[in-house]
Every structure is written in C-alpha cells, then in structure tokens.
Amino acid sequence: MLSKLALFDQKIAIIDHDDHSYTYDDLIKRALVYQKTLLDNIPEGSSVAILSDYSFEAIALFSALYEKKAIITPITSTTPAEINERIAIAQCSYSIAYHGESFVVTAHTNNATPHPMLANLQKMGDAGLILFSSGSTGKPKAMVHNLSHLVAHYELKKSKTLVMLLFLMFDHIGGLNTMLNILSMGATMVIPHNRNPEHICSLIERYHVAVLPSSPTFLNLILMSGAHERYDVSSLRMITYGTETMPESLLSKLKIVFPKIKFLQTFGTSETGIATTSSKASDSTLMRIEDASCEYKIVNHTLWLKSDTQILGYLNASMESFHEGWFDTGDLVEESEDGFLRIIGRAKEVINVGGQKVLPNEVESVILMMPEVQDCMVSAISNAITGQSVAVEVVLKDPKEATSIKKMIRAFCKSRLDGYKIPTHVTVVEQTHFSERFKKMRLG
C-alpha cells in the first residue's frame, strides 16, 4: 500500500476536519512513524481495533497496520459496552484510540483459541478486516474479509486529480471503498467534521468537491434543508448513492435541482464488497452490474451475488445466507429486457396485507410526489383483519396541513395505487427515523 501511495508524493491526499491539508508524502511518513513506534511491540498478524472515525491519523494508522499484516477492526461507536463487545467478538489483542494529540494502545487479554479464519489469515501472512453489520434486525454479525485481497482489487485504478468527500463511515464497506478508491487514484479526500447538510455543502463550496458519495435519505435532507441554495455546490460533477432503495420521485426532484450532475447508483454489501455499476441514465433507477470480479443471479425476484471480494465468513453467525458460494442479498429486483436491474425493496420489509404484497418504496415514491410532503417513511402495522396494513410517517412543508393530511394522502394515492397499498395510518413527524449511516429504520 505505501509503495503505491509513494507514486503520488506531493499531491494532496487528505483535508482533515481541522481544515489541515496533508500530502501523500505526509501520510507515508506518519504511517512509517507508527510502524516504528506505536506498533513496534505489536506482533505481526495481531487482531487490532481502531477506535476512531476517519481522520488523517486514523488513515495513517490503518495503512501502518495493513503493512504489518494486522487483522483490523474499525470501530466508530463511542458506547463503551458496544466497543468492548466488538473487541471481544473480533478477538482483538489490542485496541488503539486517539486521546488528545496521540494514539494510546491498550492490550487485551484473550485466552480463547483463535478463530480458524483469523488463524488462517495469520498463517497465510495476509492482512484482515473485520466489519460489523448494523444490527437493525438482531445482533450485529462480525464479517471477516481478507484485506490483502480487498486492497488488490484497487491496484489497477488510474491516477486522477479529483476531490471527493469521504461521507460514509470508517466501519462501513461503502466508506472503506471510497477511501481505497481515493488512495489508489492519488485523489484528494475531504473528511467532514460532522454529517449534516449545512456542513457538507459548506465543504463542497470550500474545497470544490467533485464527487459526493451519499444515500437517498441524506440527499433528501439536503433538499429539505435548502443548504444547496446557501452554498455554491457547482463544483459537483457526480453524486453516487446507495445503501438503500432510491424512490424514483426523489431522484426526479434531485435531477431538477441538480441538472448538470451525474447520478450513479452504487451497489454492494458488507459481505461481498462494492461492485462496479453503471446507471442507465442519471434520472433512472435502473443499473447494471459491470464488474468482472462479481457475478449475479436472480432467484425468486431476489438478487444473489458471488464475488472475489466476499467475506471468508462470520465470527459469530452461521453462513445460512450463503449457498454454494452465492450470497442472498435480500434485495428484491426487477430486470429489464436489456439487462438492467432495478432495486425495488428489501424482502424483509415487504408488507403483507391479507396476502397482498406491498413494497414500502413504491408507496413512498408516490407520497413524495405530493407538494405538501417533504419526506415520508412507510412501514407495516398490525391489523386484526388483514394481518398487516400500511402506515406512513410524513414530514410536512407546512405543519398546518396536519389535520387534513390523511385525507389528502388517501385522495392522492387513490388514482395511483391499488387500494390495499394506500396507508390506513398517517403520523405527522418532525423527522423520519434513520440511522447514523443515513439509512431508513422502518417501524414494525
């Protein structure tokens, strides 16, 4: 990794959240310092947790640990119980946290027999990566990647002079994909101090950011906040979006507001890595997987993937989502005649109304067309007769509409949706529920 970075020398690698710029040479030098000092007494191949989100220091440490063939677990949580649980599951012998102006190494006693996957990585002399699932439907799964293989996936990237915002988090496969892409191209990454629309748009203006990786939820927050109107975001050339389904009506709004920006749908999972994709058009939710290292198939309308960058396995869960090397993503898809795919929702989020299936994204896309609605989230609620029915939380442009919004929604949906898809329960909220990764958290 460091030898590749050396090719970019005095190019700006990182603009940190302290507004300080660091070159690739700075990054290499700091990584070498960590190798010789901080990591000197840590044996090669050790399992090590980095307790940090992105920063110049954390990326330098990540690079140094990679060179030492460590098994790295990035942890962005600040909750002690969650941190300790993840350190234990990942069998970390050490954790490293930034305190004040320096990193502090903590050794952890671990008497358990090393998990065979970790032992095999150490035996092969390969670096490893452990990521945890979001845990939205149960206990987080600890996924083990061969980091050496993952990094090799980026080796042939061509050099580019480009400024990208590092939006997704350090412990997220999408965030690591952005980081590794930037480093492999010799581009510049801008690390935000926080992830709110105002700050993100101010960074785009200040540093002439060309590429913004994001999620549909966050892009809608930008529109709702009006931050894009208070800052000059004309430097943006591309917005990539993923992590959740994009409502077609939201994408249409975005294209009206940002007509010159290319919108690219990305796709990947923590289990399989991020695949190379292309969108049929900037205003289309149809995409094509164009990745020589990734295969796909559709089984009962669900997308299955097999990739060269998929995980070795889970440390704390069975491999029931895998079958003969194929991973069931849980994403429902439609396939067009010309081979493009459209993600239409998650299988686990389908609402069953008396045996009739309802996709939340379809209902959301219709309701978001209403001029009175800024945001909405559809989910299931229990119904004594049909088992489930459709509920929606809405954020209104004018709170005065709250008393009549249920009738307005039903009337608007009547000519656009089948009757069983029309929400029976409407709640007005100030903000819909989403995770720190700006992914919708549906009720029910």
Residue 29 in any domain: the answer is yes
Give this prediction's pTM: 0.92
Residue 177 in any domain: the answer is no
Q: Is residue 212 predicted with pLDDT exceeding 70?
A: yes
> How many angstroms from the chain centroid is the CA of residue 321?
20
Question: Does residue 365 sit in the same domain as residue 311?
Answer: no
Q: Rounded distance, CA 83 to CA 114, Å?
A: 19
Span 75-104, average pLDDT: 93
Alpha helices in 187-261 (DSSP H): 197-207, 216-225, 227-230, 248-257
Residue finishing a domain among 319, 347, 375: 347
Residue 84 in any domain: the answer is yes
Do residues 162 and 186 make contact, with C-beta atoms less than 8 angstroms apart?
A: no
Do residues 282 and 261 make contact, with C-beta atoms less than 8 angstroms apart?
A: yes
Question: Does residue 226 sit in the same domain as residue 318?
Answer: yes
Q: Rounded distance, CA 175 to CA 54, Å?
A: 9
Residue finishing a domain among 288, 321, 347: 347
Q: Which of 106, 85, 98 lies closest to 59 in space, CA to CA? A: 98
Host domain of residue 416: 350-428
The CATH number assigned to the domain holding 36 equals 3.40.50.980
Residue finishing a domain among 294, 316, 347: 347
Residue 390 in any domain: the answer is yes
**Tens-digit pLDDT profile for residues 17-45:** 878 999 999 999 999 999 999 999 999 99
Span 217-231, average pLDDT: 97
Amino acid letter, 380: A
The CATH number assigned to the domain holding 383 equals 3.30.300.30
- 99 Cβ partners below 8 Å, 6+ apart? none
Amino acid letter, 117: M
Question: Does residue 392 sit in the same domain as residue 285?
Answer: no
Question: Does residue 313 sit in the same domain as residue 368?
Answer: no
For 121, the token pair is 């990585």
Domain count, the chain: 3
Question: Does residue 342 sit in the same domain as residue 392?
Answer: no
Residue 341 in any domain: the answer is yes
Question: Does residue 254 sit in the same domain as residue 132?
Answer: no
Do residues 270 and 305 make contact, with C-beta atoms less than 8 angstroms apart?
A: no
Question: Does residue 146 sit in the same domain as residue 11?
Answer: yes
**Tens-digit pLDDT profile for residues 244-296:** 999 999 999 999 999 999 999 999 999 999 999 999 999 999 999 998 899 99
Span 228-238, average pLDDT: 97
Question: Does residue 14 sit in the same domain as residue 142?
Answer: yes
Question: Does residue 292 sit in the same domain as residue 372?
Answer: no
Q: Rounded distance, CA 118 to CA 3, Å?
A: 26
